[in-house]
Amino acid sequence: MLHENPLMIDVDVDQWRNLQNMFLISAREKKRIIVIHENGVILKYRHSHGEHIVRSVSRILDPFKDARKIYEDNRDKADFVLIIERGAAEKYVTEFQDAWKAEEDLDEYIYRMYNLLEKYREGIVTYPGSPAENLGLQLRTGITYLQLKNAINKYVPPMTTVVLGIFNGPTSIFTSLVIGFDTNKKVRLITTLDRSLITTNWRIDYKKAVEWVERKYWKCSIGLFTEKETMEKVLASKRKIETLWRLAKKQKVIIDPISESLKYEFMWLELHSIS
Amino acid sequence: MHVISRIQPVKLKYSAIESYIKQRETVLLVEVKYDGLYVDGQRISIRCGEVHYWRIRREKWDDIVEKVKGMGFNAISTYIPWEIHEIDRGEFDFGEIDSSKDINEFINICERKGLWFLARPGPQINAELTWFGYPRRILEDPEIQARTPQGTKAILTQVPKPIPALSYASEKFFKETAIWYDAIVPILKKHQVPNGNLIAVQVDNEMGFFFHINPYTVDYSEDSIKKYREFLRKKYRDIEELNRLYRANYSSFNEIMPPKRFNAKSKEELPYYIDWIEYREFYLIDALDRLAKMMRERGLDKVPIYHNYPHPLNPGIASAPPTTPFNLPELERRLNFVGFDIYAKKELYDHVKTVVSYVVGTSRYPFIPEFISGIWPWYLRPGGLEDEEFVTMTALMHGIKGFSRYMIVSRNKWFGSPINRDGIVYEDKYNMHKLINKVLEECNYADYTRKSDIMLMINREYDRLEASTVLIPYPGDFLEPIFGFSEYPNPLVISEDTFGFDEPIQLRKTTWFNAHYKGLSHEGYSFVIGDTALDVEKLLRYKVLIITSYDFMSRSIQEKLIEVAKNGNTIILGPKIPYLNEYFLEETYMKDSLPSEKTEIKLNGETIAFKYTIGKGHIFHIPKLLEEVHGKVLDKVLSEAYNWKVIKNDPRLDVTVHENPKELNQFIVFIANPTPDTIEAQIELGLGKEIVKAVDIREGKEIIIRNNRLSDIMPPYKVKLYVVRVR
């Protein structure tokens, strides 16, 4: 999905920081209890931030049960528990790295890295939640990578841009993202909106933003504009398209322009709602 | 006393190397000194900005370079990417096809504007390029790829493409690099001073196994294993000597395989693992030295060659300064100077202080080759302008003497610099750089040196022990390491085994270092950070050395410390006086050198240290860490041998004083407030002189002097610079 040399230009640093804060969760920033063991013998039992913890497990016999017990005994001290068996970690990192190919896109490489955790589910364990849901940098979109990829394939025509604008009041851009796709739906452009485009009210000025993107880059197929609070609701919802459709009907979200396939999806939802 | 035979460190024949470097330096037309680079006896204090010519339209070059100069920068640096210039193997475009690749003309423009030039031709440059600066064919070549312990590829997750780590032990790698150097060096060499303005060349970039700092990740390629065996052969000379010290039974060096994971259970097993860590330092030094020689042989023989060690991917998480696999003192025996890159935010004051204090304490020219300006896209939670300003002032406060702002012009995959690729100026950032450069010029910052008589030393042998005990491997990752650990050895991933000692030294050495660091800072003592790899001559410049010492310490370090003390300096060590060497065999040189008479030092009636007089100096032994009051313990001990510190009304403030031997009645004083709170500062400089006047030079405002104290309001996350007149 990510092209081998995307253009990443004119990104507003404040918007970029806000975008990260809204969409990314870092496991490294969370409080964790780390246990490293070898055939059950515990070699490391430590809190990521050096806090005192209850060490109620003396040997790893069942990593799933043990992770749960460690978490429950230190519930107020940790966001999750990570139990790693040395041999499993060694095999895991070897396997995901060795399958590298220059052609593979970054997102596919990372997806493979996370997907492979399932194969080592006995050796790399987290609680609560699975390692693939806990570790590394997580997307806070409420959907999986494959769902996101499928949505792009389904709703975004090739050679178009998608514009996301999230606002903190009538004229203040909280964050924005302009993503340009090429003929193969690879991401070739990543940038943010120019703040000076929004002068009166984003509900009116969003059109200027779309025009600006089309003038500066290329045709916009989907423009999605909303307030920060509303975006939080979208992120929390399980059925994104349906949520967007409902919010658009209430004019909480403006989707303009809208791609034919997304329009079709909304029409279907409209028809379904009266059936 | 049992003295074992002496092992030859593979840092190899230092005297021969020093002699070679000195010989080589005599032909350089640019002299490297602590306060700058000298051309024809004239000092150049490098205030540099990085500009990527190939990412800017040719017609914009002149305007952009002029604007960089307008901010008060006196030099331009640039990467020169092999990846971009090579059309086909051995075929290059230097502007003949694409005018934005005309590096020669870009340098001409800088020269015409009177700017100095620093060239960075790689081969590795990163530069946020897809293939890290190499042609793709290099990365895909199995003969050039580094290998994991299992013989598989080792991948750095970077954006926009993950790439394999390369082997800098691979013979083919050097052959391929020669093709690139044959093309680029002839262009650069004609710009060397005095014919042009090229004053320094950087060899490679942030070379640290492609961020595979974890010791059990790479490099297990065939060429690297050969090099490892050669390293052991040079160090031990005789397999029987190695067998004796390893408690092993190898029949030849060719039989030895490097450790693939850490498995030691006792201290006697440790030397095998620790040698792998030392080898990894040697690997980097040797490769960089070889690349530098290749540049010299092709004609870059008049200017210094330098290198930039990387900043940590997760700054602030790693404890203490980044040492192994880096070895700045040792690399400076091969290259002309070496620095560390700094990218940080305001909350990371101690990280910046630590790295800068280490470079200032160890390098012959404290230079930051990449110093944050703007952000790279995959820096999580990037800071803003106030972060840049704070980090800049912090680095100056702690004594850097030169820097290059990366990037001074934003471009594809870099945001937030003062100028963009079209020449548009962002005034807030532009003015910040302009003001800082102006202030440095106006207060003659380059003439001043940070006043600091105390060196807090890292003990490289303990850092190597720490690195050797890492329990699990994990590769470098620009986004976030999958397990969430810093790439540097740290308490979350190292063994907790005591190996037969009273405590796990690999863990406790950091506790001691941090206690010294905090205690000195709290009590108002100014210190730099040093390294046991430094020569005695350098150590002798400091009146007080503070070092953590446990059961073991090599004879050579014990000798260095005793020599320094005998010369009239002070050593503070503890908790133990070593009685073993680095092979965990009896070595009592230090114990035997100490007199039987000692004086107890007491604090509140409790014995906190013992004082030994040795030659003209002293050794203080602190046997126990009293963490809560360690600052007071250090203060008491230091009061026996040393008499300068600043008095602060709030210990959260930090202060440095910079002095100029030609201006005895004027000092530059920095006060830092590294907290989110406003603090009313009252600072007594302790110089034994009356303060006549103090001016906050950035604000152009004279501040109040009360009872010979500087008084000022310090806003959150602020460093202020004062010119202080005394009599």
Q: What is the pLDDT of residue B322?
A: 79
Q: Provide, as residue numbers in chain B, all residues whose Cβ is less than 8 Å from the Cβ of A137.
A: 380, 479-480
Maximum alpha-carbon separation in chain B: 80
Element (H, E) at A14: helix A13-23
Mean pLDDT of B484-492: 91
Where do runs of H (alpha helix) occur along B567-629? Answer: 589-593
A106 contacts B161? CB cut-off 8 A: yes
Tens digits of per-residue pLDDT, B532-559? 999 999 999 999 999 999 999 999 999 9
Query: Cis omega (within 30 of 0) on the bond before B289?
Result: no
The residues spanned by each domain of chain B are: 30-136+169-211+287-445, 454-643, 648-726
Query: Cis omega (within 30 of 0) on the bond before B575?
Result: yes
Residue B481 touches partner A, C-beta closer than 8 Å? yes
Instruction: Tell me whether residue B454 is exposed, middle or buried, using C-beta atoms within 10 angstroms of its C-beta: 0 to 12, 13 to 18, 19 or more.
Output: buried
Mean pLDDT of B497-525: 97
Mean pLDDT of B134-152: 97
**Interface pTM (ipTM) of the complex?**
0.94
Tens digits of per-residue pLDDT, B599-649? 999 999 999 999 999 999 999 999 999 989 999 999 999 999 898 999 999
Residue B574 touches partner A, C-beta closer than 8 Å? no
Tens digits of per-residue pLDDT, B437-475? 999 999 999 999 999 999 999 999 999 999 999 999 999
The residues spanned by each domain of chain A are: 2-23+143-274, 31-139
Instruction: Give the whole-angstrom CA distance, residue B331 versus residue B281.
Output: 9
The lowest-confidence range among A179-183, B124-128, B309-313 is B309-313
Q: What is the pLDDT of residue B313?
A: 72
Q: What percent of chain A has pLDDT over 70?
A: 100
Instruction: Give the whole-angstrom CA distance, residue B324 versus residue B326.
Output: 4
Tens digits of per-residue pLDDT, B310-365? 987 765 555 567 789 999 999 999 999 999 999 999 999 999 999 999 999 999 99
Q: What is the pLDDT of residue B320?
A: 64
A20 contacts B480? CB cut-off 8 A: no
pTM: 0.95
Residue B726 touches partner A, C-beta closer than 8 Å? no
The answer, yes or no, to whether residue B23 has pLDDT greater than 50, is no
Q: What is the pLDDT of residue B479?
A: 87
| 8 Å CB contact between B63 and B57 | no
The answer, yes or no, to whether residue B15 has pLDDT greater than 80, is no
Residue A43 touches partner B, C-beta closer than 8 Å? yes
Q: Provide, as residue numbers in chain A, all residues whose Cβ is less than 8 Å from the Cβ of B496.
A: 43-44
CB half-sphere exposure, B347, CA atoms < 13 A: 8
In this structure, how many other beta carbons lie within 10 angstroms of the beta carbon of residue B633? 25
User: Which residues 79-118 on chain A approach chain B with CB closer than 8 angstroms?
Assistant: 82, 84, 86, 89-90, 93-94, 96-98, 100, 102, 104-106, 109-110, 113-114
SS3 B543: coil
Q: What is the pLDDT of residue B311?
A: 85
Ramachandran bin of B416, using left for φ above 0, alpha for ψ from -120 to 50, beta for the remaining angles: left
The partner residue sitting opposite B496, judged by closest CB among A43, A94, A97, is A43
Mean pLDDT value across chain B: 94
B139 contacts A48? CB cut-off 8 A: no
Instruction: Tell me whether residue B444 is exposed, middle or buried, using C-beta atoms within 10 angstroms of its C-beta: 0 to 12, 13 to 18, 19 or more.
Output: middle
Q: What is the pLDDT of residue B378?
A: 85
Mean pLDDT of A163-184: 97
Q: What is the pLDDT of residue B14?
A: 40
Q: What is the pLDDT of residue B19?
A: 45
CATH code assigned to B454-643 = 3.40.50.880
B481 contacts A136? CB cut-off 8 A: yes
Structure tokens belonging to residue A35: 């246990």
Mean pLDDT of A51-66: 97
In this structure, how many other beta carbons lie within 10 angstroms of the beta carbon of residue B586? 12
Q: Provide, as residue numbers in chain A, all residues whose Cβ is less than 8 Å from the Cβ of B377.
A: 8, 11, 16, 190
Q: What is the pLDDT of residue A275?
A: 63
Fold adopted by B30-136+169-211+287-445: TIM Barrel (3.20.20)
Q: What is the pLDDT of residue B333?
A: 97
Closest alpha carbon within chain B to A29: B484
Q: Provide, as residue numbers in chain B, all residues whose Cβ is less than 8 Å from the Cβ of A28.
A: 314, 317, 480-481, 484
CATH code assigned to B648-726 = 2.60.40.1180
* Cα dihedral across residues B433, B434, B436, B440: positive or negative: positive
Mean pLDDT of B97-110: 98
Q: What is the pLDDT of residue A172?
A: 96
The answer, yes or no, to whether residue A157 has pLDDT greater than 60, is yes
The partner residue sitting opposite B484, judged by closest CB among A10, A27, A93, is A27
Mean pLDDT of B33-57: 96
Is-same-fold flag (B30-136+169-211+287-445; B454-643)?
no
